[in-house]
Structure 1
Amino acid sequence: MTKMDPKLKAASAADKDWWRGAVIYQIYPRSFQDSNGDGVGDLLGIVSRIPYIASLGVDAIWISPFFTSPMKDFGYDVSDYCDVDPMFGQLSDFDALIEAAHERGLKVMIDLVLSHTSDQHPWFQESRASRDNDKADWYVWADPKPDGTPPNNWLSIFGGPAWHWDARREQYYLHNFLVSQPDLNFHNMEVQDALLDVTRFWLDRGVDGFRLDTINFYFADKELRDNPALPPEKRNATIAPSVNPYNHQEHLYSKNQPENLAFLKSYRALLDEYPATTSVGEVGDAQRGLELLGEYTAGDDHVHMCYAFEFLSAEKLTASRVVETMTRLDAAAPDGWACWAFSNHDVIRHTTRWNLTPAAHRCYTTMMIALRGSLCLYQGEELGLPEADVAFEDLQDPYGIEFWPEFKGRDGCRTPMVWEPSNQNGGFSAAQPWLPVSHDHVMRSVETQEHDPAAPLHHYRRALAFRRTHPALVKGSHANLMAQGDVLSFTRSYKGQTIFCAFNLSDTPSTLDMPAGNWVAIGTELGSTGAASDGRLHLGPWQPCFALQR
């Protein structure tokens, strides 16, 4: 097992709050880099690209699941939490990845899926064997109603009831996702202990933190009460809101249970045994996302940070929406910490979702690095990649296959990373990739953009460098949040440094008054402009302003 360099470990421990304001680069390992020519990305492929990731100026990487799995949901259905699926390599490859990342000053976070396992996990195989074995109560089992139907009205995110009949036990088991993803029973303390042991296994291998998948799904209501209906006007889910009946319910009982807070305290206590480790929880709830974020990050004894889906939705991110979201967050989580993302492996890439021009894409990137919170960037985002168009016959995602064509699934954001334009696979693999590479993406490859100073890749590097050199943008508070038409403005402050930030989120010029005080323009490398002699700020289309208070 690779041990962290003592100097790096000491430096790490010196700033236990490195995560606060950190920029985290998400890697979807199937699609990042194939090192062995089988058409699927792997851990050694990631190792080979660590220099590139470090060149972006990010602080950490988050690797989506690479554990042993039948891959019904591409790794989010785990059959062995403590091993690497042969598709991605072996444990020694992961150790090499840790070493390579730490040598470049990058933290390593991994994606832990604790709410459910694969139905091929040994725990479930034992649990379903009988009603009286040692793990009989490790999953959520329930008797049918007298008429044989499921115990309640809960629905699966992937369509249909959230219950599946098992002939061995003559009971139903709960699956919030695929039928092959049974939900663990967190009311059983042995289950909690087993999952804490899994976490310790990876901490002992040198992992710096965890992205906790579906963190608000851990507990289900003990009484298995029916969820109430959700009025049509409140159906605002991020993924497939109109075609999925899951969005017709208010999920009061199938998730978001109060018992979750006690488990998160146990989880944090374990992390606190390892200096400078962190956690970010995915809060999957369209109605209560910010409220749960506040509960789960309150104080210093829950998870360190969470992200909700406000900035991952299809609704375009306007100045007023940013102010509304940040204001709601301040009320819900006054001492909590958010982690923001515009794109990830579950949603349409934001350049397509919001129909962004190159200038708009640059402005949103610049705005993102100024927001209070930590940031997640999704692989290929720095290249300005649009959503790929994947034909039905090439689809792999069960979600898309189920709801096609009204919802095409998540494959369009999961196609392989494009490194160079020498072949049709963009340098990802010498073999046929598991998903086709978009021709449009190949024209936007890393190598192509390296030689173009105006390319999105260089703007991301400049933006991240600018953020890193201004502590107020990394760890500071925010104030004076305002939306004046299409212009968003606020201040960020930290240890005597105050920066005024403004962004014209439109393609028409705007003018506003600078706040009182002595301000010096900064950020010209990002297209920032300063105030005129009369104190008025004139912003061109999609233009930012950064000013430092003297």
Structure 2
Amino acid sequence: MAEDGNAWWQSAVIYEIALVSFQDSNGDGKGDIAGLMSRIEYLSWLGVDAIWLTPIYKSPFRDLGYDISDYCAIDPAFGDLDAFDRLLTALHARDIRLILDLVPNHTADDHAWFVDSSSSRDSAKADWYIWADAAENGGPPNNWMSRFGGSGWEWCEARRQYYYHSFLVEQPDLNWRNQQVREAIADVMRFWLDRGVDGFRVDASAVLIKDQHLRDNPPNQQAHGKPPPQRQTPVFTDDRPETMQCIEFIRSVIDDYPGRLLCGEVQGKTDRIGHFYGTERPRLHLPLNFALLDTRWDALSLQAAIDAYFNALSEHAWPVWVIGGHDKQRIASKLGEPQMRALAMLVMTLRGTPFLYMGDEIGRKRVPIPSASVRDPFEKLVPGYDLCRDPERAPMRWDDSAKGGFTTGKPWLPLGPESMANVTEQRRDDRSILALFRALIAVRREHAALRDGRYQPIRSRDEVLAFARTLDEQKVIVALNIAAEPRKWTCRDGSHLLLSTHLDRPPAPLAHGSILLRGNEGVIIGSGTHDASLDSTSR
């Protein structure tokens, strides 16, 4: 595989795959490694540079595999280590890198570490998890809550103590104050890095350390209408200062392997994201940023969100933009396909690394999940808040058949109506949103200004979001009409159209330096030399 240097991710397009929902090869209704192998041609055709897999380790699979029984084994439902090695070789042969999910905060309760730790206060791993004595009344040590509802503490009769679980009761939290735990996770990382994986996405990286004094979390003053786990302000369980030391330790391990990526799930508002990069000591290469998902969809709000994010980053921090994920509601359901096209152009042209989630490229919407088919433990434990994640985790639709080309058996989650978007139909349509994503990835690869250029804001007016990317003497302008009605966009003479989200305008010079943007249309415009007077506001 060609080596592009230590910063390959700065020009990469990264594609998240929930393996269980990507492609089944044996008819058991669950995706697997062999199924993914059969779809490498698609990934190469689309043009993505790396894939990130949700956990594929041995697991009882209560929470999409984030409850891990063995960090160094592939779950038999997916394959085995030999199959994984063949997958890695096949991906690298296509110049596609592989990123694994690293889950350092917790294990499954049937992991050998927890079995040992829970057996006795004198066991070899007695201090590997977060244990505490009961309160004076015999109840939990404090008021900390699980993200899946109820107390975060569970009684263990063998130890006559409680253990803490940020998530499911079957997902006990590791004790990151214990150096042996840190070294054990480092060994896990080295196991996979030595096999050739190209990096990790760190799950729940902001919650690795909890308050050592076990102080109660205060109530959330904005809790009205929110589910019970959000009715506290988690100041003593989330984003503790010592957590940064844990991330720095994880980064020190990966830095022994040149050219490997460390990205991570972080928490907090935009103005907090910068500290996950680190300054004196490096932390994450790419703290995942969900601003485009969480912002009101209008030109002024988007302009402000983009500016706030860039302002939160240090000069040398590389930006990242995420438009979907296994825990996030499908953005296509919020925007509809016309504006989903605008989002596609936006994420592929902003300065930074774009992350897609499988199905985003076909404009996949939320799949209706009947109550009897729900698998998401959050929905089962905290129902009634429209936060079920199964609609996003439903299997890919490769065609319009009853089983979607995903499986020959019964899919583990419903695929939704046969009329929903599918890959085969869209590959035949040279103006589909899939064709647009592919074209955008190609244009991004062809124009260095879109990969490496500085970001120059242009004042958004009349629901047109606009900015420029500049590199040396190259300048590319992006103009996105967020409105459903036409808007005239004016630019300097000598400009030429590179791409329209409608995919029906051939590349051509723009007459009189202007273009009529149709409703919901975005364009990429080449503009030759750039205006150096704007550099003071560029990023």
State TM-score, norm by structure 1. Answer: 0.90
User: Which runs of structure 2 are paired with 1:12-411 in the superposition (5 Å)?
Assistant: 12=3, 14-232=4-222, 242-283=225-266, 285=267, 288-299=268-279, 301-313=282-294, 316-334=296-314, 335-352=316-333, 354-356=334-336, 358-407=337-386, 409-411=388-390
Equivalent residue number for residue 470 of structure 2 = 493
SS in 2 for 1:416: coil
> Is 1:545–2:535 an aligned residue pair?
no
Counterparts of 1:495-534 in structure 2 under 5 Å?
495-514=472-491, 519-524=495-500, 526=503
CA distance in 2, matches of 1:477, 1:446: 34
Q: State the alpha-carbon separation in 2 of the partners of residues 406 and 346 from structure 1.
A: 14
Assess, with a 3 A threshold, how the Cα gap between structure 1 residues 446 and 21 changes in structure 2: closer, same or farther. same
Distance change >3 Å, CA 462–CA 485, structure 1 → 2: same
CA offset digits 1:419-455 (Å, max 9, x no partner): 223x4111111111111221245x5322222222222
- Give the 3 Å change call, closer, same or farther, for CA 336–116 of structure 1 in structure 2: same
Going from structure 1 to structure 2, the CA distance change for 1:324 and 1:227 (only over 3 Å counts) comes to: farther
- Please list the CA deviations of residues 56-111 of structure 1 after superposition, one character each: whole Å capped at 9, or x if unmatched: 01110111101001111120000100000111110111101101100111000011
Which string of whole-angstrom CA distances, capped at 9 and with x for unpartnered residues, describes residues 457-501 of structure 1? 111111111111112222332122533242111122234432221
Q: Does 1:453 align with 2:433?
A: no
* Number of positions where the alignment pairs a residue of Structure 1 with one of Structure 2: 524
What is the CA–CA distance in structure 2 between the aligned matches of 1:306 and 1:401, rounded to whole Å? 30
Q: In the alignment, what sits opposite 2:534?
A: none
1:523 counterpart SS class: strand
1 CA distance for matches of 2:131 and 2:30? Answer: 36
Whole-angstrom CA distance in 2 between matches of 1:253 and 1:21? 37
Question: Any conservation in 1 of the 2:103–2:204 contact (CA below 8 Å)?
Answer: yes
Is the 1:382–1:457 contact (alpha carbons within 8 Å) kept by the matching residues of 2? yes
- CA deviations 1:298-344 (Å, max 9, x no partner) are 3472111011332333x543222322222222232123233222221
Contact 2:500 2:521 in 1 (8 A): no
Conserved? CA contact 2:131–2:163, under 8 Å: yes
Which amino acid in structure 2 is aligned with residue 540 of structure 1?
A: R
Partner secondary structure for residue 464 of structure 1 = helix
**What is the one-letter code of the residue matched to 2:497?**
A
Query: What one-letter code is carried by the residue in structure 1 that aligns with 2:127?
Result: D
- The correspondence for 1:428, drawn from 406, 420, 423, is 406
CA distance in 1, matches of 2:106, 2:187: 16
- The 1:176–1:312 alpha-carbon spacing in structure 2 relative to 1, beyond 3 Å, is farther
Distance 2:229 2:11 in 1: 34
In the TM superposition, what is the alpha-carbon distance from 1:511 to its structure 2 partner?
Answer: 3.3
Alpha-carbon distance change, 487 to 171 in structure 1, aligned in 2, over 3 angstroms: same
Q: Secondary structure at the match of 2:367?
A: coil
CA shift in 2, pair 1:173/1:510, >3 Å: same
Per the alignment, do residues 88 and 242 of structure 1 end up closer, same or farther by CA in structure 2, a change over 3 Å counting? farther
RMSD (Å) for aligned C-alpha atoms: 2.1
1: distance between equivalents of 2:185 and 2:431? 47
Give the equivalent residue in structure 2 for 1:4.
none
Q: Residue 163 of structure 1: CA displacement?
A: 1.3
Where 2:191 maps in the other structure, the secondary structure is helix
Letter aligned with residue 269 of structure 1 = S
Hey, what's the Cα distance between the residues in 1 that align with 2:525 and 2:388? Answer: 42
Aligned partner of 2:197: which letter? V
- Listed as ranges, the gaps of 5+ residues in structure 1 are 1-7, 236-240
Equivalent AA in structure 2 for residue 34 of structure 1: D
* Conserved? CA contact 1:156–1:177, under 8 Å: yes
> What is the Cα deviation at residue 535 of structure 1?
4.5
Is the Cα–Cα contact under 8 Å of residues 296 and 302 in structure 2 kept in the other structure?
no
Q: TM-score scaled by structure 2?
A: 0.92
Between the aligned partners of 1:512 and 1:267, the Cα distance in structure 2 is 47
Deviates more, 1:480-489 or 1:464-473: 480-489
Q: Which amino acid aligns with 2:499?
A: G
Q: Which piece of structure 1 moves more, 71-80 or 412-421?
A: 412-421
User: Any conservation in 2 of the 1:403–1:409 contact (CA below 8 Å)?
Assistant: no
Post-superposition offset of 1:230: 2.2
Distance change (3 Å), C-alpha of 1:221 and 1:131: same
Q: CA deviation at 1:517?
A: 7.8
How far apart are residue 524 of structure 1 and its match?
4.8
Q: Distance in 1 between matches of 2:87 and 2:164?
A: 36
> Which amino acid counterpart does residue 482 of structure 1 have in structure 2?
R
Structure 1 CA distance for aligned equivalents of residues 78 and 494 of structure 2: 55
Distance 2:17 2:450 in 1: 24
CA–CA distance in structure 2, aligned partners of residues 338 and 251 of structure 1: 27
1:252-277 per-position Cα deviation (integer Å, ceiling 9, x unaligned): 11010111222222222222221211
CA shift for structure 1 position 223: 1.4
| 1:431–1:549 Cα change, 3 Å | same
Q: Deviations over 1:189-221 (max 9, x none)?
A: 111111111011100111001111111111111
Whole-angstrom distance in 1 between the partners of 2:342 and 2:396: 23
140 and 74 in structure 1: CA distance in 2 versus 1, 3 angstrom threshold: same
- 3-state SS in 2 of match to 1:541: coil
After superposing the two structures, state which structure 1 stretch, 248-257 or 494-503, moved more: 494-503
Segment drifting more, 529-538 vs 423-432: 529-538
Q: Secondary structure at the match of 2:8?
A: coil
